[in-house]
Amino acid sequence: MSDWVSATNKTACPPGSAMELVVAERVVALFNVDGEFFALDGVCPHQGGPLGKGELSGCLVTCPWHGWQFDVRTGQSQLTASVKHPTFEVRIEGEDVMIRVPSASDEE
C-alpha cells in the first residue's frame, strides 16, 4: 500500500534545482527539470550520500559525495547499466508537490 503525500510547495524547488525531503519516513530527493518534477530515493546506493543535495544538470544529478550520476527521470546510473536507483511517482495538485512513497510492506 502506498499513499500520496503532500511533500512541499512547488515554488520551493524551482526549475534546475534539487532538494532533500523526508516523506513518510523516507529520505526523498526531489528534482525540477524545466518545470517537470521527479523524485528518487534520496540515499545514494554507493555509500549513502544525499542525492537531494546533489547538483542537477539537465536530467542528471551528481551525488555530492563521490560523483555518481543518475538520470532523475528513471533512476538509471550513468556509471553502470546494472544500477537503477528507485524512483517515486510525483504529481502536482495546485501548488503542492505530491509524492507517492511505498510503505515498507510494499517492498517485502
Contact set with ligand FES (CB under 6 A)? 44, 46-49, 63, 65-68
Nearer to ligand FES, 35 or 48 (CB): 48
| Spatial CB neighbours of 54, under 8 Å, sequence gap ≥ 6 | 18, 29, 61, 62, 63, 64
Cα-to-chain-centroid distance, residue 13 = 12
What would the grid cell of residue 72 be? Answer: 532523475
Q: How far is the CB of 26 from ligand FES (least distance, A)?
A: 17
Q: How far is the CB of 7 from ligand FES (least distance, A)?
A: 22
- Smallest Cα–Cα separation from 31: which of 4, 69, 82, 1? 69
Q: How far is the CB of 51 from ligand FES (least distance, A)?
A: 7
Nearer to ligand FES, 22 or 79 (CB): 79
